[in-house]
Amino acid sequence: MSQRDVAQILCPSCGMTFALAEVDYDGEVTCPRCGSILYVVITGGEVESVEVLEEGLEEEYWLEDEDLWETEEEERFPEVLEEEDWESIEE
């Protein structure tokens, strides 16, 4: 499958762009970010239409979830030390 066979879908609910590896498609897709159910039509690898059939999570909820994810990520991975801080660790 070539790169041109991958259609880029833009979710009208949350604005996320995600890939769908279909040349011709006419059906439902769920947005991986907000969970909205979208009706997508792809013809010859080109996205013809994207319609929201059912809204997923409320925008505020998925934004809060994204903020929480970023906070958890920061806690899990310690801050990278600058080169000048290395000396204090080596002593």
pTM: 0.59
pLDDT digits (tens, 9 = 90+) for 63-85: 555 555 554 444 444 444 455 55
pLDDT digits (tens, 9 = 90+) for 4-63: 568 999 999 989 999 988 899 999 999 998 889 999 999 999 999 999 999 876 555 555
DSSP per-residue string spanning 13-78:
TT--EEEE--SSEEEEEE-TTT--EEEEEEETTEEEEEEEEE--S-HHHHHHHHHHHHHHHHHHSP
Q: What residue ranges do the domains of the chain occupy?
A: 3-78
The helix (run of H) or strand (run of E) holding residue 83 is helix 83-90
Count of Cβ atoms closer than 10 Å to residue 38 Cβ: 22
Q: What is the DSSP pairing of strand 25-30 with strand 17-20?
A: unpaired
pLDDT of residue 75: 46
Is residue 44 within 8 A of residue 67, CB to CB? The reply is no
